[in-house]
Chain A
Amino acid sequence: MKRRSLLVGLGAAAVAGCSRIADSGPGARALAAAEDWHRKAQRLFAARTALAPEYDRAAISPSFRGNGSLTVDTDAYRASLASGFADWRLNVRGLVRHPLSLSMDNIRRLPQRTQVTRHDCVEGWSAIGEWTGPQLGLILSAAQLLPQAKYVVFRCADRLRGAPYYESIDLIDAFHPQTIVAHRLNGEPLPERNGAPLRLRVERQLGYKHAKYLTAIEAVASLDGIGGGAGGYWEDRGYQWYAGV
Protein backbone atom coordinates (compact mmCIF):
# COMPACT_ATOMS: atom_id res chain seq x y z
CA MET A 1 0.00 0.00 0.00
CA LYS A 2 2.85 2.33 0.86
CA ARG A 3 4.51 1.62 -2.45
CA ARG A 4 1.27 2.37 -4.25
CA SER A 5 0.90 5.69 -2.50
CA LEU A 6 4.49 6.53 -3.39
CA LEU A 7 3.69 5.82 -7.02
CA VAL A 8 0.51 7.87 -6.78
CA GLY A 9 2.50 10.69 -5.22
CA LEU A 10 5.14 10.61 -7.95
CA GLY A 11 2.48 10.43 -10.62
CA ALA A 12 0.64 13.37 -9.14
CA ALA A 13 3.87 15.38 -8.90
CA ALA A 14 4.60 14.76 -12.58
CA VAL A 15 1.04 15.72 -13.50
CA ALA A 16 1.21 18.92 -11.45
CA GLY A 17 4.62 19.87 -12.86
CA CYS A 18 3.42 19.34 -16.40
CA SER A 19 0.29 21.39 -15.94
CA ARG A 20 2.38 24.32 -14.65
CA ILE A 21 4.61 24.08 -17.70
CA ALA A 22 1.60 23.86 -20.02
CA ASP A 23 0.15 27.00 -18.45
CA SER A 24 3.34 29.01 -18.88
CA GLY A 25 3.94 31.00 -22.08
CA PRO A 26 7.08 29.24 -23.36
CA GLY A 27 5.70 25.84 -22.31
CA ALA A 28 2.53 26.37 -24.29
CA ARG A 29 4.53 27.60 -27.30
CA ALA A 30 6.79 24.53 -27.25
CA LEU A 31 3.77 22.25 -27.05
CA ALA A 32 2.25 23.98 -30.06
CA ALA A 33 5.49 24.03 -32.06
CA ALA A 34 6.25 20.32 -31.75
CA GLU A 35 3.65 19.34 -34.38
CA ASP A 36 5.34 21.72 -36.82
CA TRP A 37 8.72 20.05 -36.25
CA HIS A 38 7.12 16.69 -37.02
CA ARG A 39 5.59 18.06 -40.22
CA LYS A 40 8.91 19.49 -41.34
CA ALA A 41 10.79 16.31 -40.47
CA GLN A 42 8.27 14.19 -42.37
CA ARG A 43 8.53 16.39 -45.43
CA LEU A 44 12.32 16.62 -45.15
CA PHE A 45 12.81 12.88 -45.25
CA ALA A 46 10.54 12.04 -48.12
CA ALA A 47 8.91 13.42 -51.20
CA ARG A 48 5.92 15.58 -50.43
CA THR A 49 3.96 13.50 -52.87
CA ALA A 50 4.90 10.14 -51.31
CA LEU A 51 1.80 7.97 -51.42
CA ALA A 52 -0.01 6.43 -48.50
CA PRO A 53 -0.27 2.64 -48.97
CA GLU A 54 -3.09 1.39 -51.14
CA TYR A 55 -4.50 -2.03 -50.43
CA ASP A 56 -6.19 -4.79 -52.42
CA ARG A 57 -9.96 -4.80 -52.37
CA ALA A 58 -9.71 -7.97 -50.27
CA ALA A 59 -8.29 -5.88 -47.41
CA ILE A 60 -11.44 -3.71 -47.08
CA SER A 61 -12.94 -3.81 -43.57
CA PRO A 62 -16.38 -5.45 -43.34
CA SER A 63 -17.92 -2.12 -42.36
CA PHE A 64 -16.65 1.43 -42.16
CA ARG A 65 -17.16 3.03 -38.80
CA GLY A 66 -18.81 6.45 -38.74
CA ASN A 67 -17.55 8.89 -36.12
CA GLY A 68 -18.22 12.51 -35.14
CA SER A 69 -21.38 13.69 -36.91
CA LEU A 70 -23.34 10.73 -38.26
CA THR A 71 -25.87 12.87 -40.10
CA VAL A 72 -26.84 16.48 -40.68
CA ASP A 73 -29.80 17.36 -38.51
CA THR A 74 -31.72 19.71 -40.81
CA ASP A 75 -34.85 19.34 -42.93
CA ALA A 76 -32.97 20.61 -45.97
CA TYR A 77 -30.42 17.80 -45.64
CA ARG A 78 -33.10 15.14 -45.16
CA ALA A 79 -34.92 16.40 -48.26
CA SER A 80 -31.70 16.44 -50.23
CA LEU A 81 -30.83 12.92 -49.07
CA ALA A 82 -34.27 11.72 -50.14
CA SER A 83 -33.81 13.24 -53.60
CA GLY A 84 -30.43 11.57 -54.09
CA PHE A 85 -28.71 14.95 -53.58
CA ALA A 86 -30.04 16.25 -56.91
CA ASP A 87 -29.89 19.81 -55.51
CA TRP A 88 -26.53 19.51 -53.67
CA ARG A 89 -23.91 22.07 -54.63
CA LEU A 90 -20.19 22.17 -53.93
CA ASN A 91 -19.05 25.77 -54.18
CA VAL A 92 -15.45 26.59 -54.92
CA ARG A 93 -14.72 30.15 -53.89
CA GLY A 94 -12.36 32.51 -52.10
CA LEU A 95 -9.02 33.35 -53.71
CA VAL A 96 -9.82 31.76 -57.06
CA ARG A 97 -10.06 33.29 -60.50
CA HIS A 98 -13.13 31.25 -61.50
CA PRO A 99 -15.52 30.45 -58.67
CA LEU A 100 -17.42 27.21 -59.32
CA SER A 101 -20.70 25.71 -58.22
CA LEU A 102 -20.58 21.99 -58.92
CA SER A 103 -23.55 19.62 -58.90
CA MET A 104 -23.17 15.95 -58.02
CA ASP A 105 -23.45 15.23 -61.73
CA ASN A 106 -20.60 17.62 -62.53
CA ILE A 107 -18.47 15.91 -59.92
CA ARG A 108 -19.25 12.40 -61.14
CA ARG A 109 -18.29 13.41 -64.70
CA LEU A 110 -14.80 14.61 -63.77
CA PRO A 111 -11.90 12.12 -64.11
CA GLN A 112 -12.09 9.86 -61.06
CA ARG A 113 -9.52 8.31 -58.76
CA THR A 114 -10.32 5.14 -56.84
CA GLN A 115 -8.12 4.18 -53.91
CA VAL A 116 -8.30 1.55 -51.17
CA THR A 117 -6.76 3.27 -48.18
CA ARG A 118 -6.64 3.05 -44.43
CA HIS A 119 -8.35 5.63 -42.25
CA ASP A 120 -6.63 6.31 -38.91
CA CYS A 121 -8.68 8.02 -36.24
CA VAL A 122 -6.97 10.22 -33.67
CA GLU A 123 -8.49 7.97 -31.01
CA GLY A 124 -6.36 5.09 -32.25
CA TRP A 125 -8.57 2.82 -34.39
CA SER A 126 -8.26 2.20 -38.15
CA ALA A 127 -10.59 1.05 -40.95
CA ILE A 128 -9.93 0.31 -44.62
CA GLY A 129 -12.26 1.44 -47.40
CA GLU A 130 -12.35 2.05 -51.13
CA TRP A 131 -12.94 5.69 -52.02
CA THR A 132 -13.80 7.21 -55.39
CA GLY A 133 -13.88 10.82 -56.48
CA PRO A 134 -12.07 13.53 -58.44
CA GLN A 135 -8.73 14.77 -57.21
CA LEU A 136 -8.99 18.00 -55.28
CA GLY A 137 -6.05 19.36 -57.29
CA LEU A 138 -8.08 19.00 -60.45
CA ILE A 139 -10.96 21.06 -59.06
CA LEU A 140 -8.59 23.71 -57.71
CA SER A 141 -6.81 23.92 -61.05
CA ALA A 142 -10.13 24.39 -62.80
CA ALA A 143 -10.97 27.24 -60.44
CA GLN A 144 -7.42 28.65 -60.77
CA LEU A 145 -6.00 29.64 -57.41
CA LEU A 146 -4.74 33.18 -57.05
CA PRO A 147 -1.09 33.50 -56.00
CA GLN A 148 -2.03 34.71 -52.50
CA ALA A 149 -3.88 31.46 -51.71
CA LYS A 150 -2.05 29.43 -49.03
CA TYR A 151 -4.70 27.16 -47.54
CA VAL A 152 -7.85 25.41 -48.61
CA VAL A 153 -10.76 25.54 -46.17
CA PHE A 154 -13.57 22.97 -46.26
CA ARG A 155 -17.06 24.04 -45.25
CA CYS A 156 -19.43 21.35 -44.03
CA ALA A 157 -23.17 21.05 -43.55
CA ASP A 158 -22.89 19.30 -40.18
CA ARG A 159 -22.69 20.85 -36.74
CA LEU A 160 -21.03 19.20 -33.77
CA ARG A 161 -22.26 20.33 -30.35
CA GLY A 162 -23.83 23.34 -31.99
CA ALA A 163 -20.79 24.60 -33.91
CA PRO A 164 -20.25 24.22 -37.66
CA TYR A 165 -17.65 21.66 -38.66
CA TYR A 166 -14.84 22.86 -40.89
CA GLU A 167 -11.30 21.91 -41.77
CA SER A 168 -8.28 23.23 -43.65
CA ILE A 169 -5.12 21.91 -45.31
CA ASP A 170 -2.12 23.49 -46.99
CA LEU A 171 -1.50 23.44 -50.74
CA ILE A 172 1.01 20.59 -50.56
CA ASP A 173 -1.67 18.29 -49.21
CA ALA A 174 -4.36 19.88 -51.40
CA PHE A 175 -2.46 18.94 -54.57
CA HIS A 176 -1.33 15.55 -53.30
CA PRO A 177 -2.44 12.90 -55.83
CA GLN A 178 -4.41 10.95 -53.19
CA THR A 179 -6.33 13.96 -51.92
CA ILE A 180 -9.78 13.48 -53.43
CA VAL A 181 -13.34 14.66 -52.96
CA ALA A 182 -14.96 11.27 -52.46
CA HIS A 183 -18.58 10.50 -53.35
CA ARG A 184 -18.37 6.70 -53.25
CA LEU A 185 -17.31 4.25 -50.55
CA ASN A 186 -16.73 0.60 -51.45
CA GLY A 187 -18.45 1.06 -54.81
CA GLU A 188 -21.66 2.54 -53.35
CA PRO A 189 -22.72 6.18 -53.02
CA LEU A 190 -21.24 7.54 -49.80
CA PRO A 191 -23.38 6.42 -46.83
CA GLU A 192 -24.98 9.05 -44.61
CA ARG A 193 -22.83 8.29 -41.56
CA ASN A 194 -19.63 8.58 -43.64
CA GLY A 195 -20.45 12.08 -44.93
CA ALA A 196 -22.93 11.82 -47.84
CA PRO A 197 -22.83 13.11 -50.45
CA LEU A 198 -19.21 14.39 -50.43
CA ARG A 199 -16.24 14.12 -48.13
CA LEU A 200 -12.58 14.93 -48.25
CA ARG A 201 -9.95 12.18 -48.27
CA VAL A 202 -6.57 13.51 -47.25
CA GLU A 203 -4.60 10.33 -46.74
CA ARG A 204 -1.49 10.60 -44.51
CA GLN A 205 -3.41 12.61 -41.94
CA LEU A 206 -5.69 11.60 -39.07
CA GLY A 207 -9.44 11.15 -39.45
CA TYR A 208 -10.67 14.52 -38.23
CA LYS A 209 -9.03 16.24 -41.23
CA HIS A 210 -11.33 14.28 -43.58
CA ALA A 211 -14.22 16.75 -43.50
CA LYS A 212 -17.66 15.29 -44.32
CA TYR A 213 -20.92 16.69 -45.78
CA LEU A 214 -18.90 19.16 -47.91
CA THR A 215 -20.69 22.27 -49.13
CA ALA A 216 -17.81 24.55 -50.10
CA ILE A 217 -14.11 24.70 -50.75
CA GLU A 218 -12.55 28.07 -50.02
CA ALA A 219 -9.04 29.20 -50.94
CA VAL A 220 -7.64 31.60 -48.34
CA ALA A 221 -4.40 33.38 -47.51
CA SER A 222 -4.68 32.92 -43.74
CA LEU A 223 -6.72 30.89 -41.27
CA ASP A 224 -7.21 33.86 -38.94
CA GLY A 225 -10.80 34.88 -38.44
CA ILE A 226 -12.21 31.57 -39.70
CA GLY A 227 -14.05 29.70 -36.93
CA GLY A 228 -11.82 29.95 -33.86
CA GLY A 229 -8.79 30.73 -36.03
CA ALA A 230 -6.96 27.43 -35.50
CA GLY A 231 -7.95 25.93 -38.85
CA GLY A 232 -10.63 23.42 -37.96
CA TYR A 233 -13.38 22.36 -35.58
CA TRP A 234 -11.12 20.07 -33.54
CA GLU A 235 -8.13 22.37 -33.91
CA ASP A 236 -10.20 25.11 -32.25
CA ARG A 237 -10.59 22.62 -29.39
CA GLY A 238 -6.86 22.01 -28.95
CA TYR A 239 -6.08 19.30 -31.50
CA GLN A 240 -3.10 19.63 -33.81
CA TRP A 241 -3.63 21.30 -37.16
CA TYR A 242 -1.02 19.08 -38.79
CA ALA A 243 -2.49 15.66 -38.11
CA GLY A 244 0.29 13.51 -39.53
CA VAL A 245 1.55 12.33 -36.14
Chain B
Amino acid sequence: MTRHALSTRLWHWLNLACVVVLFMSGLNISNAHPHLYWGDWGFDPRDAWLSVPRFPGWMTIPGHYSLAAARDWHILAAWPFALGLLFIWIAMLANGHFRRDIATGRREWRWAALRADIAAHLRLDFRHRRGGYNLLQRIAYGIVFGILLPLMIATGMGISPGWEPHLHWMIESMGGRQSVRSIHFVAAWALFGFVVVHVALVLLSRPLRQVRDMVTGGRR
Protein backbone atom coordinates (compact mmCIF):
# COMPACT_ATOMS: atom_id res chain seq x y z
CA MET B 1 0.00 0.00 0.00
CA THR B 2 1.31 3.47 -0.78
CA ARG B 3 2.19 5.68 2.14
CA HIS B 4 0.32 8.69 0.73
CA ALA B 5 -2.85 8.31 -1.32
CA LEU B 6 -2.94 10.03 -4.69
CA SER B 7 -5.63 12.39 -3.41
CA THR B 8 -3.40 13.43 -0.50
CA ARG B 9 -0.44 14.07 -2.79
CA LEU B 10 -2.42 16.06 -5.33
CA TRP B 11 -4.01 18.14 -2.63
CA HIS B 12 -0.76 18.67 -0.74
CA TRP B 13 1.11 20.31 -3.61
CA LEU B 14 -1.88 22.20 -4.99
CA ASN B 15 -2.55 23.51 -1.50
CA LEU B 16 1.08 24.53 -1.09
CA ALA B 17 0.86 26.67 -4.24
CA CYS B 18 -2.42 28.24 -3.11
CA VAL B 19 -1.20 28.98 0.41
CA VAL B 20 1.98 30.61 -0.89
CA VAL B 21 -0.03 32.87 -3.23
CA LEU B 22 -2.69 33.63 -0.62
CA PHE B 23 -0.17 34.43 2.10
CA MET B 24 2.07 36.61 -0.05
CA SER B 25 -0.79 38.47 -1.74
CA GLY B 26 -2.40 38.82 1.71
CA LEU B 27 0.71 40.60 2.98
CA ASN B 28 0.43 43.02 0.04
CA ILE B 29 -3.21 43.66 1.02
CA SER B 30 -2.11 44.22 4.60
CA ASN B 31 0.23 46.99 3.42
CA ALA B 32 -2.83 49.00 2.31
CA HIS B 33 -3.91 49.59 5.90
CA PRO B 34 -1.62 47.73 8.29
CA HIS B 35 -3.77 48.34 11.37
CA LEU B 36 -6.02 45.75 12.96
CA TYR B 37 -9.08 46.55 15.06
CA TRP B 38 -11.51 44.65 17.23
CA GLY B 39 -15.29 44.95 16.86
CA ASP B 40 -17.50 45.94 13.94
CA TRP B 41 -15.61 49.02 12.84
CA GLY B 42 -12.23 50.74 13.07
CA PHE B 43 -10.44 53.19 10.78
CA ASP B 44 -8.19 55.31 12.96
CA PRO B 45 -4.75 53.77 13.56
CA ARG B 46 -4.92 55.17 17.11
CA ASP B 47 -7.74 52.69 17.82
CA ALA B 48 -5.82 49.71 16.46
CA TRP B 49 -4.96 46.83 18.80
CA LEU B 50 -2.10 45.94 16.48
CA SER B 51 -0.23 47.90 13.85
CA VAL B 52 2.06 45.71 11.81
CA PRO B 53 5.14 46.76 9.85
CA ARG B 54 5.12 47.17 6.07
CA PHE B 55 6.00 43.93 4.36
CA PRO B 56 8.85 44.27 1.83
CA GLY B 57 8.44 43.39 -1.86
CA TRP B 58 10.12 39.99 -1.66
CA MET B 59 7.40 38.88 0.77
CA THR B 60 4.45 40.07 -1.31
CA ILE B 61 2.64 39.22 -4.54
CA PRO B 62 3.03 41.21 -6.69
CA GLY B 63 6.52 42.32 -5.68
CA HIS B 64 5.57 46.00 -5.53
CA TYR B 65 2.67 47.56 -3.69
CA SER B 66 -0.51 47.06 -5.71
CA LEU B 67 -3.69 46.50 -3.77
CA ALA B 68 -5.64 45.89 -7.00
CA ALA B 69 -3.33 43.16 -8.33
CA ALA B 70 -2.86 41.57 -4.91
CA ARG B 71 -6.62 41.30 -4.48
CA ASP B 72 -6.91 39.69 -7.94
CA TRP B 73 -4.39 37.03 -6.92
CA HIS B 74 -5.97 36.55 -3.53
CA ILE B 75 -9.51 35.99 -4.72
CA LEU B 76 -8.36 33.81 -7.62
CA ALA B 77 -6.28 31.51 -5.39
CA ALA B 78 -9.13 31.38 -2.87
CA TRP B 79 -11.04 29.15 -5.31
CA PRO B 80 -8.62 26.23 -5.78
CA PHE B 81 -7.70 26.58 -2.10
CA ALA B 82 -11.28 26.23 -0.85
CA LEU B 83 -12.37 23.62 -3.40
CA GLY B 84 -9.16 21.67 -2.71
CA LEU B 85 -9.89 21.57 0.99
CA LEU B 86 -13.43 20.37 0.30
CA PHE B 87 -11.98 17.72 -2.01
CA ILE B 88 -9.41 16.40 0.47
CA TRP B 89 -11.96 16.22 3.28
CA ILE B 90 -14.30 14.14 1.12
CA ALA B 91 -11.39 11.98 -0.10
CA MET B 92 -9.89 11.32 3.31
CA LEU B 93 -13.24 10.51 4.87
CA ALA B 94 -14.02 8.19 1.96
CA ASN B 95 -10.69 6.35 1.79
CA GLY B 96 -10.26 6.03 5.54
CA HIS B 97 -7.08 8.16 5.67
CA PHE B 98 -8.64 10.48 8.21
CA ARG B 99 -9.77 7.76 10.57
CA ARG B 100 -6.63 5.68 10.14
CA ASP B 101 -3.87 8.30 10.07
CA ILE B 102 -5.13 11.65 11.38
CA ALA B 103 -7.85 11.07 13.98
CA THR B 104 -6.60 10.37 17.49
CA GLY B 105 -8.30 7.97 19.87
CA ARG B 106 -8.94 8.72 23.51
CA ARG B 107 -6.25 6.19 24.51
CA GLU B 108 -3.57 8.19 22.75
CA TRP B 109 -4.29 11.37 24.66
CA ARG B 110 -2.64 10.07 27.80
CA TRP B 111 0.00 12.32 29.22
CA ALA B 112 2.64 9.56 29.15
CA ALA B 113 2.13 9.00 25.43
CA LEU B 114 2.30 12.70 24.70
CA ARG B 115 5.44 13.05 26.83
CA ALA B 116 7.13 10.11 25.13
CA ASP B 117 6.32 11.60 21.72
CA ILE B 118 7.61 15.04 22.67
CA ALA B 119 10.79 13.47 24.07
CA ALA B 120 11.28 11.52 20.84
CA HIS B 121 10.83 14.72 18.81
CA LEU B 122 13.38 16.51 20.95
CA ARG B 123 15.84 13.68 20.29
CA LEU B 124 15.04 14.24 16.60
CA ASP B 125 13.72 10.70 16.47
CA PHE B 126 10.86 10.78 13.96
CA ARG B 127 10.31 7.08 13.41
CA HIS B 128 6.68 6.75 12.46
CA ARG B 129 4.70 4.16 14.30
CA ARG B 130 3.60 1.40 11.95
CA GLY B 131 4.29 3.64 8.97
CA GLY B 132 1.60 6.07 10.10
CA TYR B 133 1.92 9.46 11.75
CA ASN B 134 2.95 9.86 15.38
CA LEU B 135 0.75 11.62 17.90
CA LEU B 136 2.20 15.13 17.51
CA GLN B 137 1.91 14.87 13.74
CA ARG B 138 -1.70 13.78 14.01
CA ILE B 139 -2.49 16.67 16.31
CA ALA B 140 -0.71 19.17 14.08
CA TYR B 141 -2.28 17.91 10.84
CA GLY B 142 -5.66 17.63 12.56
CA ILE B 143 -5.47 21.27 13.63
CA VAL B 144 -4.45 22.35 10.13
CA PHE B 145 -7.15 20.33 8.34
CA GLY B 146 -9.86 20.86 10.92
CA ILE B 147 -9.28 24.38 12.23
CA LEU B 148 -6.70 26.58 10.52
CA LEU B 149 -7.52 26.00 6.85
CA PRO B 150 -11.34 26.14 7.29
CA LEU B 151 -10.87 29.22 9.47
CA MET B 152 -8.99 30.98 6.66
CA ILE B 153 -11.95 30.35 4.36
CA ALA B 154 -14.60 31.31 6.89
CA THR B 155 -12.86 34.52 7.92
CA GLY B 156 -11.91 35.37 4.32
CA MET B 157 -15.56 35.16 3.33
CA GLY B 158 -16.52 37.00 6.51
CA ILE B 159 -14.50 40.09 5.52
CA SER B 160 -16.11 40.15 2.07
CA PRO B 161 -19.08 42.54 2.17
CA GLY B 162 -21.00 40.50 -0.42
CA TRP B 163 -21.00 37.43 1.85
CA GLU B 164 -21.97 39.39 4.93
CA PRO B 165 -25.78 38.97 4.64
CA HIS B 166 -25.35 35.18 4.61
CA LEU B 167 -22.66 34.95 7.28
CA HIS B 168 -23.86 37.62 9.64
CA TRP B 169 -24.32 35.19 12.54
CA MET B 170 -20.73 33.98 12.20
CA ILE B 171 -19.32 37.49 11.93
CA GLU B 172 -21.19 38.65 15.01
CA SER B 173 -20.12 35.57 16.97
CA MET B 174 -16.49 36.44 16.16
CA GLY B 175 -17.02 40.01 17.37
CA GLY B 176 -17.70 41.94 14.14
CA ARG B 177 -16.05 42.45 10.76
CA GLN B 178 -12.86 44.04 12.03
CA SER B 179 -12.45 41.20 14.53
CA VAL B 180 -12.89 38.73 11.69
CA ARG B 181 -10.22 40.58 9.72
CA SER B 182 -7.90 40.43 12.75
CA ILE B 183 -8.51 36.69 13.08
CA HIS B 184 -7.85 36.22 9.34
CA PHE B 185 -4.50 37.96 9.74
CA VAL B 186 -3.47 36.16 12.94
CA ALA B 187 -4.54 32.76 11.58
CA ALA B 188 -2.51 33.43 8.42
CA TRP B 189 0.60 33.83 10.58
CA ALA B 190 -0.32 30.79 12.67
CA LEU B 191 -0.43 28.85 9.41
CA PHE B 192 2.94 30.30 8.46
CA GLY B 193 4.27 29.12 11.84
CA PHE B 194 2.99 25.62 11.15
CA VAL B 195 4.62 25.56 7.71
CA VAL B 196 7.99 26.67 9.11
CA VAL B 197 8.00 23.92 11.75
CA HIS B 198 6.56 21.40 9.27
CA VAL B 199 9.23 22.05 6.66
CA ALA B 200 11.98 22.15 9.30
CA LEU B 201 10.91 18.72 10.57
CA VAL B 202 10.82 17.34 7.03
CA LEU B 203 14.34 18.68 6.50
CA LEU B 204 15.48 17.01 9.72
CA SER B 205 14.08 13.60 8.90
CA ARG B 206 15.44 12.24 5.63
CA PRO B 207 14.02 15.06 3.52
CA LEU B 208 14.66 13.56 0.09
CA ARG B 209 12.80 10.36 0.87
CA GLN B 210 10.01 12.24 2.59
CA VAL B 211 9.42 14.62 -0.27
CA ARG B 212 9.82 11.85 -2.83
CA ASP B 213 7.16 9.84 -1.01
CA MET B 214 4.86 12.82 -0.95
CA VAL B 215 5.27 12.99 -4.76
CA THR B 216 5.30 9.32 -5.81
CA GLY B 217 3.32 7.84 -2.94
CA GLY B 218 6.06 5.70 -1.36
CA ARG B 219 5.45 2.50 0.58
CA ARG B 220 4.11 1.91 4.05
Does chain A bind chain B? yes
- By a beta-carbon cutoff of 8 Å, the part of chain A in contact with chain B is 8, 11-12, 14-16, 18-19, 22, 30-32, 34-35, 37-39, 42, 45-46, 50-53, 55, 59, 61, 65, 118, 120-128, 203-206, 234, 237-240, 242-245
A206/B161 contact (C-beta < 8 A), A18-B62, A122-B32, A126-B42 known: yes
- Please indicate the chain A residues that have their CB under 8 angstroms from the CB of B68 in the complex: 234, 237-240
The 0/1 profile, CB within 8 Å of A marked 1, for residues 45-78 of chain B is 0000000000001111111001111011101101
| 6 shortest interchain CB distances as A-B pairs | A244-B162, A238-B68, A50-B165, A125-B43, A34-B76, A15-B63
Tally of chain B residues near chain A (CB < 8 A): 44
- Please indicate the chain A residues that have their CB under 8 angstroms from the CB of B163 in the complex: 42, 244-245
A126/B61 contact (C-beta < 8 A), A51-B165, A239-B68 known: no
CA distance A239 to B41 in the complex (A): 23
CA distance A215 to B73 in the complex (A): 35
Most A C-beta atoms less than 10 A away, residue of B30, B68, B76: B76
23 sampled A-B residue pairs with Cβ under 8 A: A14-B20, A22-B69, A31-B73, A31-B76, A34-B79, A35-B72, A42-B160, A50-B166, A52-B164, A53-B164, A53-B165, A55-B40, A61-B43, A65-B44, A118-B40, A121-B43, A125-B178, A128-B40, A205-B162, A239-B68, A245-B160, A245-B162, A245-B163
A12/B72 contact (C-beta < 8 A), A52-B165, A120-B161, A204-B161 known: no
A127/B43 contact (C-beta < 8 A), A14-B61, A18-B61, A19-B63 known: yes
- Please indicate the chain A residues that have their CB under 8 angstroms from the CB of B71 in the complex: 122, 239-240, 245
- By a beta-carbon cutoff of 8 Å, the part of chain B in contact with chain A is 20-21, 24, 29-30, 32-33, 35, 37, 40-44, 57-63, 66-69, 71-73, 75-76, 78-79, 159-166, 168, 177-178, 181
CA distance A127 to B42 in the complex (A): 6
CA distance A242 to B177 in the complex (A): 19
CA distance A45 to B176 in the complex (A): 21
CA distance A43 to B6 in the complex (A): 34
Tell me if B41 and A11 are in contact (CB < 8 A): no
A121/B40 contact (C-beta < 8 A), A11-B24, A14-B24 known: no
Tell me if A125 and B42 are in contact (CB < 8 A): yes
Tell me if B178 and A126 are in contact (CB < 8 A): yes
- Please indicate the chain A residues that have their CB under 8 angstroms from the CB of B78 in the complex: 34
Shortest Cβ distance from residue A244 to the other chain B in the assembled complex, whole angstroms:
2
- Please indicate the chain A residues that have their CB under 8 angstroms from the CB of B41 in the complex: 59, 61, 118, 125-128
Tell me if B61 and A15 are in contact (CB < 8 A): yes
Closest-by-CB residue of A relative to B178 is A126
CA distance A245 to B67 in the complex (A): 13
Tell me if B162 and A122 are in contact (CB < 8 A): no
Partner of A34, one of B20, B63, B72, B159: B72
Partner of B58, one of A8, A46, A55: A8
Closest-by-CB residue of A relative to B160 is A245
- Please indicate the chain A residues that have their CB under 8 angstroms from the CB of B35 in the complex: 124-125
Tell me if B40 and A59 are in contact (CB < 8 A): yes
Shortest Cβ distance from residue A52 to the other chain B in the assembled complex, whole angstroms:
6
- Please indicate the chain A residues that have their CB under 8 angstroms from the CB of B66 in the complex: 238
Closest-by-CB residue of A relative to B68 is A238
Shortest Cβ distance from residue A128 to the other chain B in the assembled complex, whole angstroms:
5
